[in-house]
Structure 1
């Protein structure tokens, strides 16, 4: 009965286009969420390389097929909801379809991402390690979405089948197309608004760097501006950053040369402010094109990313590959004992770093060493992940107990790059 009802429903004017358009809308939304942390090409490459475990490729194929199936079931749910609405039965018979569709969409959205690079929505709400924390890396969420959508569609079709059996020649069926079109437009607008809200939240998180000062101990966001008014005693072109160990899975904190010169750590202000003062650069560097500035990290993220397809000569490409295999993605992906190299990461920050490398190699290739370019690339990581880089700085300088330390990609099984929190060690890096 359900199959016959489905065929009969899809034969009504406008039903099949509604299914396909609804599926396309949801699939596009899921794709956008996926690309917030990795590109589809990088996702496929990591699956082929076995980055997702023993069943890496099977996971990638299964994840993609489930996303397509969820989208098609979503389209069918839209047709059912529109049908119930047209018959003025939405509250009575369509409520379950609406609730199941909402739940299925939510679980599908939270399942989108990459086990290695992270997932946008789980990370946004503070779900530690994102999809990597789940046994099946998010496949269980997609499966739950299929169950919810499938149950919703089956229930709706049974209801519609009984109604159609009683009214096989409904004269109002010709009005379905306009009703379905209006419903689809409304649903599309709602999902566009949702994506816009999520993007706005991410932008706000990136823009309000001053709030990090509060979280790290400053009394107000305005105190973060105090660094701009201080007269430093010295300055330096170095930065403390994680560099990959020989095992290729963990990192150690090391001092690396940079292009941008920053003030030395001041002797006044809170400890948190002092760490931000020395790790987070300010102003517009001379080499930056189109006014890219450390002071506008979100705009800089997008601008640097636009250079990632810049063509390089063969020698420049060799240097580029070396640089992207030395710079690690620490705060958005990977695990403490499984760091992700920039070359394998598809998140927006990794893409921006690759754009930075390509631009610098093409424009200033002969002027700076690989170490200087890696260190300068981390200057930009610092404005995108201020809390993490400040925590690493204090850990490296023997002051890890000042604000604590959160483990991240490549930090080692102890979560602290092999250093002991709050103790002075022979291996620690002295503050400047």
Structure 2
């Protein structure tokens, strides 16, 4: 009789052990899925390890296609290692903004493209131009991006699409703020969002990197 009681107690213990194990497994799965959903569905990334993106993945190199040789500028000319050359390159593009006035279809196209990008790390304007095409930000970076946009529209309007012009502006913006854009690219990557130049630098994902520590390194003056 005592053997039967002991056997019964032993069986109950086994069932309890299995139940506890199942509960632990379920809690682990719930926690794991919660982290995945939080990280990849737009939740906060404060407690999530952000996959790093190296500078080599986003920094453009060499002479820009078509306009680089004409303006005698290279992506390599804008870097923290040579501030004078960087300022000279920025000034070349800035002078185009100062000396070029757009009208008609060119102005409409300019507004359509350039209102999509800002220099938010220098000024708080929604974009580097107002909706009428006038300058909205007075920093050197904004002058350079506006000047390049005007040049590509007036000199190579049939060779560059709107998105391609916006991408070129974005490449230079990355060069102006390399550290911040490395961080932003990492955040975009962690959320499964494209890290191409339009996604990375236009107003499309503006501010998505807020809350993450990043280098405040800037090339060129505000």
Q: Does 1:279 align with 2:53?
A: no
Name which of 43, 62, 72 aligns with 1:291.
Answer: 72
**Distance between the aligned counterparts of 1:378 and 1:304, measured in 2?**
14
Name which of 288, 304, 308 aligns with 2:93.
Answer: 304
| Paired position in structure 2 for 1:415 | 210
Q: Does 1:340 align with 2:135?
A: no
**Distance between the aligned counterparts of 2:71 and 2:119, measured in 1?**
26
**Distance between the aligned counterparts of 2:127 and 2:103, measured in 1?**
22
**Distance between the aligned counterparts of 2:113 and 2:151, measured in 1?**
13
Paired positions, count: 134
- Partner-residue secondary structure (3-state), 1:368: coil
**Distance between the aligned counterparts of 1:398 and 1:313, measured in 2?**
42
Note the 1:326-337 alignment, pairs <5 A.
326-334=116-124
Q: Does 1:370 align with 2:162?
A: yes
Question: How far did residue 314 of structure 1 move?
Answer: 1.2
Question: How far did residue 312 of structure 1 move?
Answer: 3.0
**Distance between the aligned counterparts of 1:356 and 1:284, measured in 2?**
14
Question: How far did residue 311 of structure 1 move?
Answer: 3.4
Q: Does 1:323 align with 2:113?
A: yes
Question: How far did residue 410 of structure 1 move?
Answer: 4.3
- In structure 1, list runs of 5 or more residues that go unmatched: 1-251, 253-270, 400-408, 422-432
RMSD between superposed Cα atoms in Å: 2.7
Output one character per residue of 1:85-130: Cα deviation in whole Å (capped at 9) or x when no partner.
Answer: xxxxxxxxxxxxxxxxxxxxxxxxxxxxxxxxxxxxxxxxxxxxxx
**Distance between the aligned counterparts of 2:73 and 2:142, measured in 1?**
17
Question: How far did residue 375 of structure 1 move?
Answer: 1.5
- In structure 2, list runs of 5 or more residues that go unmatched: 1-41, 43-50, 79-85, 130-135, 192-204, 213-222
Q: Does 1:386 align with 2:178?
A: yes
Note the 1:17-416 alignment, pairs <5 A.
275-286=54-65, 287-288=67-68, 289-297=70-78, 298=86, 299-308=88-97, 309-334=99-124, 340-343=126-129, 344-398=136-190, 410-411=206-207, 415=210
Q: Is the 8 A contact 1:320 1:358 kept in 2?
A: yes
Question: How far did residue 382 of structure 1 move?
Answer: 0.8
Runs of 4+ in structure 1 displaced over 3 angstroms?
none
**Distance between the aligned counterparts of 1:366 and 1:290, measured in 2?**
18
Question: How far did residue 351 of structure 1 move?
Answer: 0.6
Output one character per residue of 1:210-235: Cα deviation in whole Å (capped at 9) or x when no partner.
Answer: xxxxxxxxxxxxxxxxxxxxxxxxxx
Question: How far did residue 313 of structure 1 move?
Answer: 4.0
Output one character per residue of 1:378-420: Cα deviation in whole Å (capped at 9) or x when no partner.
Answer: 1001111100111110110018xxxxxxxxx9416x826xxxx
